[in-house]
């Protein structure tokens, strides 16, 4: 495929690895309970939100700054990226999350490492409740991402990266009381691998993936429909070369990136 032969594609894949690694390192690092106090939830929420905003601002123009398998799945459901690219993004995000968690594990004292297992259902929260919370947390995040990065939107104001960071922050402010606020399967998977603890782990995959898909469908088919035919959507999913790159050769020799990857 043309994407596989493109250096732009591989830079985007590496950017997803890089961005997810730093997102997990800083976010999970802030979640460690070095001290106890009433502001711990706010501290964690702000760090995850600011880490997301910083990484998206840093790599958004390279890969789109997904740093989350559920977000990539949402773009796939919305037929805004190829299945081929999504597969490599998922691999990069999972490996990046594991790398970030591993580095954090290595620089953290033994008596503090247990706090890295952030995603646990709180007492009284059933599997169904936890999954539903994760669906809603991720759905609001994806709707925000689709809205602030929509190239059809006129008169965009403010920073898209900061808006997405705020969506991550409010998700943690509410979700940490229920599920620990997963919202990101890669971020949940990394500590599960380190501590070999996969109890109820499926909640942190199923919930965000459903939420991401619902957010994509709600925005792209209801709130602000994209008027595209089935053939065009299938061509995007298959990764067909954009028509303008077939007929127009530029000096760079690189294929044009998906519009959804520009923040």
Position 241 pLDDT exceeds 50: yes
- In the predicted model, what is the mean pLDDT of the chain? 88
Q: What are phi and psi of 49, to 5 degrees?
A: -65, -45
Give the pLDDT confidence score for residue 259 in this predicted structure.
Answer: 47
Query: What CATH architecture applies to the domain 7-240?
Result: Up-down Bundle (1.20)
The lowest-confidence range among 13-22, 108-117, 138-147, 243-252 is 243-252
Mean of the pLDDT values across residues 34-48? 85
Q: Give the DSSP H or E segment for 132.
A: helix 127-148
The pTM of the whole model exceeds 0.85 = yes
- The domains of the chain are located at 7-240
- Burial class of residue 158, CB neighbours in 10 A (0-12, 13-18, 19+): exposed
Position 246 pLDDT exceeds 80: no
Give the pLDDT confidence score for residue 250 in this predicted structure.
Answer: 40
Name the nearest CA neighbour of 17 among 75, 76, 69, 78.
69
What residues have CB less than 8 Å from 57, skipping those under 6 apart? 65, 159, 161, 162, 263
The residue ranking higher by pLDDT, 27 or 155, is 27
Helices (H), 196-238: 203-218, 230-238
Q: Mind listing the pLDDT tens digit for each residue in 157-216?
A: 789 999 999 999 999 999 999 999 999 999 999 999 998 989 999 999 999 999 999 999
What residues have CB less than 8 Å from 93, skipping those under 6 apart? 16, 17, 20, 66, 67, 68, 69, 72, 186
pLDDT band at 1 (very low <50, low <70, confident <90, very high): low
Q: Mind listing the pLDDT tens digit for each residue in 48-66?
A: 999 999 999 999 999 999 9
Give helix 69-77 / helix 203-218 axis angle, nearest 10°.
Answer: 40
Q: Under DSSP, is residue 12 helix (H, G, I), strand (E, B) or coil?
A: helix
What residues have CB less than 8 Å from 17, skipping those under 6 apart? 92, 93, 95, 96, 99
Name the nearest CA neighbour of 100 among 28, 176, 196.
28
Q: Under DSSP, is residue 183 helix (H, G, I), strand (E, B) or coil?
A: coil
pLDDT band at 103 (very low <50, low <70, confident <90, very high): very high
What residues have CB less than 8 Å from 251, skipping those under 6 apart? none
Position 258 pLDDT exceeds 80: no
């Amino acid at each position: 495929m043309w994407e596989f032969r493109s250096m732009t594609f591989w830079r985007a894949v590496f950017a997803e690895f890089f961005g997810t690694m730093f997102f997990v390192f800083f976010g999970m690092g802030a979640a460690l309970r070095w001290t106890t106090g009433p502001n711990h939830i706010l501290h964690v929420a702000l760090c995850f939100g600011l880490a997301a905003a910083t990484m998206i601002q840093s790599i958004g123009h390279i890969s789109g700054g997904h740093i989350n398998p559920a977000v990539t799945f949402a773009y796939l459901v919305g037929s805004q990226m190829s299945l081929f690219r999504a597969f490599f993004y998922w691999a990069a995000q999972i490996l990046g999350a594991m790398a970030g968690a591993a580095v954090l594990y290595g620089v953290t004292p033994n008596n503090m490492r247990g706090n890295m297992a952030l995603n646990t259902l709180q007492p009284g929260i059933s599997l169904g409740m936890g999954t539903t919370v994760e669906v809603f947390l991720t759905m609001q995040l994806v709707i925000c991402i689709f809205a602030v990065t929509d190239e059809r939107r006129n008169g965009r104001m403010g920073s898209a990266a900061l808006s997405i960071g705020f969506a991550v922050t409010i998700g943690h402010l509410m979700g940490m009381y229920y599920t620990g606020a997963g919202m990101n399967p890669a971020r949940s998977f990394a500590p599960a691998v380190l501590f070999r603890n996969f109890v109820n782990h499926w909640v942190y995959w199923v919930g965000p993936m459903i939420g991401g898909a619902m957010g994509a469908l709600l925005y792209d088919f209801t709130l602000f429909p994209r008027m595209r035919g089935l053939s065009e959507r299938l061509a995007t999913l298959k990764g067909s070369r954009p028509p303008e790159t077939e007929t127009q050769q530029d000096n760079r020799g690189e294929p044009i990136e998906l519009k959804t990857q520009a923040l």
